[in-house]
């Protein structure tokens, strides 16, 4: 298998067709690559901007083989691609990050065991395979969070257990015969480090990003984070260690909790660009998607220098509750950059887009971002009126 760089003009294959693939495809096409996406649907966020959208189930061996035949390298934009699909592709072209990275990170139990074995600080957890086991673990201490081992993201397959009476409902709602029970972390804050590693081992990282979740879904990301230099240094060292020990070529994000007594605990790994890193598109010299292109193609990685303080807010389906959002109002805001993912159905909790605000300080960026999001719900007649500080919806 070749280790020569895959140069512009070549074709990159993407497994998965959501917004992460879309922003990757935009970065790749800007750099002169062609992009083919394998998707289970048509007219997807990635398919809309790719050169070719192949519609097939991930376990369709013939279609997957045909997809791999048409590309020079393959990457993925979500973790839940079956391992067998990756094996078929890997037999024909390089997959970056490699199938071993996907295998570890697509299952919470494997991921946490990897982190523990690697000697990295991880949230206290136990494997659970039966209701009786769960009951006895919960008797040892609550609150705790039950998470299915497979197929979890954005709080899906998760259930908070505050008291022993909730155990049975939690077990049923997670609906899996393999789960993990995590001690609830009373954290000071949540942060993430997005980084990239090249074929030659070159490692670059963005500074830790501060994240605020709402209903288990990322709501706001901010950089610079305002965290102490010591915490930032430790967070980056943990991230570097993950890349080395997992032998990652590509982009990966490490999500962490900072506990009230100042310890960092890894919550989750995402072996691809991450929602918290979307602000790098507008605020940094090379964004996380460009780093993905560079790393999977075996090219030198780009600069992670930050050009401006930034805040990013997600636009979930709820922003459409009164009809089409007032885009003109939002775009009248200072330093506002709008990103929409081309999704048609604005369902509650669905990530439809995001807004990044660039400002002189993070405080100012946060204030503008929140005001702008509220302004989206205003009637069209209010286009361009100065935004007032209003409470979050
Ligand atoms: P996850 O899908 O594991 O990334 O969880 C989504 C969000 O749920 C996290 O970003 C946290 O805000 C919250 N969460 C998950 N696990 C825990 C935990 N053990 N303690 C406290 N909060 C948690």
User: Is the distance from the beta carbon of residue 110 to the nearest atom of ligand 1 less than 6 Å?
Assistant: no
Would you state the pLDDT for residue 393? 37
pLDDT higher at 314 or 157? 314
Indicate the angle between helix axes 83-90 and 61-69, nearest 10 degrees: 40
In angstroms, the CA 218 to CA 313 distance is: 8
Residue whose tokens read 């310890």: 263
Nearest to 376 by CA among 326, 324, 315: 326
Pairing type for strands 217-223 and 310-316 reads antiparallel
Would you state the pLDDT for residue 389? 37
Residue 383 clears pLDDT 90, i.e. is over it: no
293 phi and psi, to 5 degrees?
Answer: -60, -50
pLDDT bucket at 385, cuts 50 / 70 / 90: very low
Mutate to test the pocket of ligand 1, among 79, 108, 143, 145 (most ligand atoms within 8 A of CB): 145
Residue 152 clears pLDDT 80, i.e. is over it: no
Tokens of 104: 């570890």
Q: What structural domains and CATH numbers belong to the chain? A: 11-95 (3.40.50.20), 124-183 (3.30.1490.20), 187-375 (3.30.470.20)
The residue whose C-alpha atom lies closest to atom 1 belonging to ligand 1 is 155
Nearest to 303 by CA among 321, 283, 317: 283
Burial of 118 from C-beta contacts in 10 A (0-12 / 13-18 / 19+): middle
Residue 392 clears pLDDT 60, i.e. is over it: no
Would you state the pLDDT for residue 390? 37
Average pLDDT over the chain, rounded to an integer: 93
CB contact at 8 A, 72 and 11: yes
Least confident of 2-6, 84-88, 374-378, 386-390: 386-390
User: Is the distance from the beta carbon of residue 267 to the nearest atom of ligand 1 less than 6 Å?
Assistant: yes
Task: Compute the half-sphere exposure of residue 182: CA atoms within 13 Å on the CB side of its CA.
Answer: 22
pLDDT tens-digit readout, 188-240 = 999 999 999 999 999 999 999 999 999 889 999 999 999 999 999 999 999 99
- Determine the distance separating the centroid of ligand 1 and the alpha carbon of 184, expressed in angstroms: 8
CB neighbourhood size of 157 (10 A):
19
Q: What is the mean pLDDT of residues 293-321?
A: 97
Query: What is the number of the ligand 1 atom nearest to the C-alpha of 155?
Result: 2
Indicate the angle between helix axes 131-139 and 167-174, nearest 10 degrees: 130
In angstroms, the CA 234 to CA 263 distance is: 10
The model's pTM is 0.94
Residue 60 clears pLDDT 50, i.e. is over it: yes
The residue whose C-alpha atom lies closest to atom 8 belonging to ligand 1 is 216
Least confident of 35-44, 81-90, 168-177: 168-177
Task: Compute the half-sphere exposure of residue 139: CA atoms within 13 Å on the CB side of its CA.
Answer: 6
Query: What is the number of the ligand 1 atom nearest to the C-alpha of 213?
Result: 12
Mutate to test the pocket of ligand 1, among 267, 349, 351 (most ligand atoms within 8 A of CB): 267
Proportion of the chain above pLDDT 90, given as a percent? 89
- Determine the distance separating the centroid of ligand 1 and the alpha carbon of 256, expressed in angstroms: 9
Would you state the pLDDT for residue 379? 79
Q: What is the mean pLDDT of residues 67-94?
A: 95
pLDDT bucket at 155, cuts 50 / 70 / 90: low
Residue 34 clears pLDDT 80, i.e. is over it: yes
Would you state the pLDDT for residue 80? 86
């Amino acid at each position: 298998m070749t280790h020569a760089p895959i140069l512009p003009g070549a074709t990159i294959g993407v497994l998965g067709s959501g917004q992460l693939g879309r922003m990757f495809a935009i970065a790749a096409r800007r750099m002169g690559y062609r992009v083919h996406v394998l998707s289970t649907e048509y007219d997807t966020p990635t398919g809309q901007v790719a050169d070719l959208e192949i519609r097939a189930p991930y376990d369709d061996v013939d279609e997957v083989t045909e997809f791999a035949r048409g590309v020079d390298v393959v990457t993925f934009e979500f973790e839940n691609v079956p391992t067998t699909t990756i094996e078929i592709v890997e037999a024909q072209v390089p997959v970056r990050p490699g199938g071993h990275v996907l295998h570890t990170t697509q299952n919470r139990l494997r991921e946490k065991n990897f982190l523990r074995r690697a000697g990295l600080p991880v949230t206290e957890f136990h494997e659970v395979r039966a209701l009786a086991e769960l009951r006895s673990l919960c008797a040892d201490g609550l609150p705790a969070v039950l998470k299915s081992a497979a197929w979890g993201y954005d709080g899906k397959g998760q259930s908070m257990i505050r008291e022993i009476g909730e155990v049975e409902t939690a077990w049923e709602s997670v609906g899996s015969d393999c789960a993990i029970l995590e001690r609830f972390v009373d954290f000071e804050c949540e942060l993430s480090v997005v980084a990239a590693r090249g074929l030659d081992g070159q490692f670059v990282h963005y500074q830790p990003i501060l994240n605020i979740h709402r209903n288990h879904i990322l709501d706001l990301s901010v950089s610079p984070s305002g965290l102490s230099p010591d915490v930032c240094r430790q967070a980056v060292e943990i991230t570097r260690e993950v890349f080395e020990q997992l032998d990652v070529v590509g982009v990966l994000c490490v999500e962490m909790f900072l506990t009230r007594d100042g310890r960092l605990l890894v919550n989750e790994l995402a072996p691809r660009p991450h929602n918290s890193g979307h602000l790098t598109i507008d605020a940094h010299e090379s964004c996380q998607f460009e780093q993905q292109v560079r790393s999977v193609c075996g090219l030198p990685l780009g600069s992670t220098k930050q050009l401006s303080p930034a805040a990013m807010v997600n636009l979930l389906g709820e922003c459409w509750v009164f009809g089409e959002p007032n885009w003109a109002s939002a775009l009248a805001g200072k330093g506002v950059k709008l990103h929409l993912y081309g999704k048609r159905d604005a369902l509650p909790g669905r990530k439809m887009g995001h807004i990044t605000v660039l400002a002189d300080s993070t405080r100012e960026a946060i204030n503008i971002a929140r005001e702008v999001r509220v302004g989206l719900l205003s009637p069209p007649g209010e286009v361009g009126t100065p935004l007032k500080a209003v409470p979050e919806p």
